[in-house]
Amino acid sequence: MSDHKPEKKIKPPQSVGWMAEYTDENQLLDACRQVRDSGYTRTDAYSPFPVHGIEDALGIKPTGLPWFSLCAGATGTCVALLMQWWMNAVDYPYIISGKPYASWPAFIPVTFELTVLFAAFTTVFAMLGLNGLPKLSNPLFNNPKFDRSTDDRFFLWVDSNDKYFNSEKVKGLLESTSPVEVSEVKEDDSPTEIPRGIIWAIILLIMVSLIPAVIVLDMRNSRSRGSRIQVFFDMDYQPNHKVQGSTSWFADHRVQRPPVSGTVARGELYASDPYYLGYDPDATASNERESHFVSLQADDANSAGQVNDPNSAEAAAPELNYAWLTQIPGTVDGKMYDLGKKKFDINCSVCHGVVGNGEGLVSQRAMNLAEGYWLQPTNLAESRIVEQPVGRIYYTITHGKGKMGGYAASLTPQERWAVVLYVRALQRSQNAKSSDIPENVTLSSTAAQ
Amino acid sequence: MSSISLSSDETPQELSRSRQDTSDPPSQWEQQAYDPRERAALVLGEHDFTTVTDSIADIALGKTPTMWYVAMSVSLSLLSLLVVTIGYLLLTGVGVWGNNNTVSWGFPIINFVFWVGIGHAGTLISAILFLLRQNWRTGINRFAEAMTIFAVCCAGIFPGLHVGRVWLAYWLLPYPNELAMWPQARSPLLWDVFAVGTYATVSLLFWYMGMVPDLATLRDRATKRWQQLLYGVLALGWNGSSRHWMRFEKAYLLLAALATPLVLSVHSVVSFDFATSQLPGWHTTIFPPYFVAGAVFGGFAMVLTLSIPCREWFGLKHLITHRHIENMAKVMLATGMIVSYAYSVEFFMAWYSQQPYEQFVFLNRPFGPYAWAFWTMVTCNVIAPQAIWFTAVRKNVWAIFIVAMFVNVGMWFERFVIVVTSLHRDFLPSSWAMFAPTWVDLGMFLGSFGLFFTLFLLFCRFLPMVAIAEVKTVMPQAHADDHPVKFDYQPSPDTPKELRRGHWFT
């Protein structure tokens, strides 16, 4: 009751109302009704637990607290949805697990949680706020008997600010409700100023707690040449070795370890198996391969530029000296021959001709047009090619040769080997000698066919 | 209490009661009403408001029992184990754990799910049972809520450490930063942060708010100055005004309504961490309800584990009666049955799916290298709770205690089975591995119990262990309608009309 503050503490504390004590909640309810019907409105009852029916008995309006919760909950929903949309769809969008940036279904859990969080927080603090708590000083607490209001006694209080308040009348009314005791509530006359020491302590505490913030602000706004202060190393310093370093741990002092012999690392099969290469990489000197790499690059540079002498490409690329496979790997049978024929007819015959003599339709037309840049495809039956090991031909198909492009993209390794077989067959047929004709076949019979 | 008892048919309990009368005073079991038409008394013995206040406030304000010091020193030494292992972990790195590339979740996540699960009973008791008007909750809700909060504290430690660089854990929160990055709201791991964070906050609010009137009781009964100051500040000046009570009750109801879906959501979200992955054994739609049931199951087991000794040692048998214990045991049995059903559904789905990976996982669980863990789980979670069906077991609180201990163990193993057996053999046999905890893993697990019990013992010693005000509301003395004498006041005919007021005014 702050509105009648005495000027100084000379006067004895003033009365702020009357209080009656009951042992039983039913007496309290009875008394409440009487006080209510006598017209007093500034009243309150105090009990150790919520007494049901007291709102009616005393005439207390229901609370608007649920509206606070509702509004806070709705705010929570909106904040959560907006926050997630902003985070993942606007300010930092990136695709993850195939979901859209604003995946509303995935935003539901956080939305729900924040709705509950906001509503719960507001409910508790609005309850305390509406109750005027925390309030650590209360004139009622002056009466030591009032301590039992949180234990086993019930109290009814009539405020002296009430419109109809009349000290004698109120006392009489309360006494008529069969209370244990009726007592006058005196205003709290304990000093209200906070002691100096506490104020200074609080100021000091605030100052001290600002020091770290000031240091951080200063550091953010100044430059320094020193290295950063590392509270945690964050993996900046690790006990591992640098890639090309040496170590005493292994006998060869190398940090990088060679693969265990006899093993093939994943993905390295195509780079190490002769089947896929056409030559044996282990038996081929590494400097040989590197020199070829250089020459291939030179080749690329040539073809990228102007069309030059058709024969220059061949001249630019020296013959490779690889450990070529001399035998077709795997089983060689009629099926493979059929596959090879099919693939040769599709891929090679247009240039090299169906019999491989370099007289394919494309070539014929190009020769007829007599364009200067056309290089006649090699006659595959010429002795230079016949003498090439199978691995070399495989290599040509894979990577191309001079003016001819590679066919690795359109033929699998197996199909390439099949084509090699067919090329060999063509060579044989083109260079056939009469001794190649089987005994039981006569020339006349083939002619007849 | 409104009890309509027909005198003609005496129940067997009543018979045995009359037989016992000659020798011992009847046990609480024998005092219980077994007629469903009869309502069991929630506070046993000759008690009024004063003695109820006394029995609870004296624990908080009186002298510290010697046993408390003993218990506290044990839990403090366990707590120091936690501090030491965490310190060692921070200085060395997460490599000190048994986690490996394959079983990357290991103990930290097992313990996280274990503790979060335990936390569920508290809110269930305080919110759901409140909404369902289960008045028996008043005896145990404070207790269970405290347990919830402490369990969530323990739970929070583990994922916090599991992120590896704990000092960057604040990156989990959405705040504008110099990295120009935001958390990923489409991931269940972020949902988890919000779910567990909200749960911890709301539980704490609920707990504290419910405790304010009781703190005022302690303030008013305290005799030592420091107690008066401490409880005085904590009680926020509560004075039991009927207006305050009205808003308080409304707030309590609202919080209960908010916490009810919340408690169901939390473990659902935790289960999303597993279920939204593609790993066989985790990728299951049954996970959310299965996890929630498991959490309530494990949580009630923990409440039983704590309340059975506490009611004995702190002399609270009249407030936490045998009936309370029995009710909790029954909830435990019911949720245990749900959990068992969920286990069997998982196996059915694996068979029915005809999915080889799924089937492999569910063969690997009972027959693989971690079969011992699986069968421990089945023994503790499926078989052990069946004992509750028997009256002989329910009659003896310590038998219930033993069952609850089994369930505690079983629920930990359930999480072990889910985490480890699913991870350790995934799609690619070349990456299969076994998981074994290191001493740091075990130390942190034990240490988390130290933290839990330290907090719990502090709570038992210094805070009102039972909701004093709430218990008073369920005592027969608090029910005006049961006393026909009262409410006889009528306004006298000569009261002026404007003074005969209706309800809605101040």
Give a yes or no: residue B8 inside a domain: no
Q: Which pLDDT score is estimated for A191? A: 74
Chain A residue closest to B191 (CA)? A110
Write the residue in A39, A130, A234 that is nearest to B499 by C-beta: A39
Percent of chain A with pLDDT over 70: 88
Q: What is the ipTM of this complex?
A: 0.85
**Model pLDDT, residue A119:** 95
Confidence check: pLDDT of A307 > 60: no
CB within 8 Å: B500 and A26: no
- Average pLDDT of span A316-339: 85
**Alpha carbon distance B406, B410 (integer Å):** 6
Nearest to B247 among A46, A114, A131 (CB): A131
Helices B397-416 and B287-313 pack at an angle, to 10 degrees, of 140
The pLDDT value recorded for residue A273 is 85
pLDDT at A140: 82
Q: C-alpha angle with apex A87: A84 to A90, nearest 5 degrees?
A: 110
A293-297, A318-322, B329-333, B501-505: the lowest-pLDDT one: B501-505
Q: Is the pLDDT of residue A416 over 90?
A: yes
B390-411 burial, b at 16+ Cβ within 10 Å, e below that, comes to eeebbeebebbbebbebbbbbb
DSSP type of residue B421: I
CB contacts, 8 Å: A38 with chain B: 495, 499
- B411 found inside a domain: yes
Res A4: pLDDT: 53
State in Å, rounded, how far the first CA of chain B is from the last one: 33
Report yes or no on B17 lying in a domain. Answer: no
The two counts, helices (H) then strands (E), for chain A are 17, 4
Tokens of A282: 């282990």
Gap between the Cα atoms of B496 and B476, Å rounded: 37
pLDDT of residue B439: 94
Which of B 215-234 lie inside 8 A of A, CB atoms?
A: 216-217, 219-221, 232-233
pLDDT grade for A443, boundaries at 50, 70 and 90: low
Domain hosting residue B242, numbered range: 25-479
**Residue A53 in this model has a pLDDT that exceeds 50:** yes
Cα Rg of chain A, angstroms = 51
* Confidence at residue A95, expressed as pLDDT on a 0 to 100 scale: 87
User: Is B7 contained in some domain?
Assistant: no
Residue of B242, B252, B268 to mutate for A, most A C-beta atoms under 10 A: B242
Q: What share of chain B is helix, strand, coil (3-state, %, to 5)?
A: 70, 0, 30
Q: Is the pLDDT of residue A281 over 90?
A: no
**What is the pLDDT, as a whole number, of residue A318?**
63
Give the residue-averaged pLDDT of A80-108: 90
Count of domains observed in chain B: 1
Q: How many CB pairs under 8 A join A and B?
A: 248
Residues in contact with B337: Cβ distance below 8 Å, sequence separation at least 6, in sequence order:
B385
pLDDT of residue A302: 46
Query: Under 8 Å CB-to-CB from B452, ≥6 apart: which residues?
Result: B75, B115, B150, B151, B153, B154
Chain B residues 248-267 with CB within 8 Å of chain A? 248-251, 254-255, 258-259, 261-262, 265
Segment A296-323 shows an average pLDDT of 54
Q: What number is the average pLDDT over the span A60-66?
A: 85
Query: Does residue B64 sit within a domain?
Result: yes
- Has residue B490 been placed in a domain? no
pLDDT value, residue A8: 53
Measured between CA atoms, the residue of chain B closest to residue A39 is B499
Is residue A45 within 8 Å of A221, Cβ to Cβ? no
Residue of A nearest to B485 (CA): A26
Contacts of A377 (CB under 8 A, 6+ apart): A351, A352, A353, A358, A360, A363, A404
Low-confidence residues in chain B, pLDDT < 50: 1-22, 482-491, 500-506
Of A33-42, A251-260, B458-467, the range with the lowest mean pLDDT is A33-42
Residues of B in contact with A34 (CB under 8 A): 489
Query: In a 3-state reduction of DSSP, which class is residue A324?
Result: strand
How confident is the model over A154-169, as pLDDT tens digits?
A: 888 888 887 777 778 8
In a domain? residue B499: no
Domain-located, residue B506? no
Residue A2: pLDDT band with limits 50, 70, 90: very low
Q: How confident is the model at residue A194 (pLDDT cuts 50, 70, 90)?
A: confident
Q: What is the CATH number of the domain that holds B178?
A: 1.20.1630.10
Q: Classify residue A186 by burial, with Cβ atoms within 10 Å: 0-12, 13-18, 19+.
A: middle
The CA-atom distances, in angstroms, between B475 and each of A264, B47, B49, B388 are 80, 9, 8, 29
The stretch A28-56 carries a mean pLDDT of 84
3-state secondary structure A11-22: CCCCEEEEEEEE
Residue of A nearest to B276 (CA): A97
Q: Tens of pLDDT along A98-142?
A: 888 889 999 999 999 999 999 999 999 999 999 888 887 788 888
Contact criterion met (CB < 8 Å) for A30 and B487 = yes
Q: Give the burial class of A300: count Cβ atoms within 10 A of its Cβ; 0-12 exposed, 13-18 middle, 19 or more buried.
A: exposed
Minimal Cβ distance to A232: which of B165, B185, B219: B165
Q: Grade residue A294 by pLDDT with cuts at 50, 70 and 90.
A: low
Per CB-CB distance under 8 Å, the chain B contacts of A121 are 201, 205
Over residues A378-400, mean pLDDT? 92
Best of B206, B231, B243, B252 to substitute, by most chain A Cβ atoms within 10 angstroms, is B243
Interchain proximity B185–A123, CB inside 8 Å: no
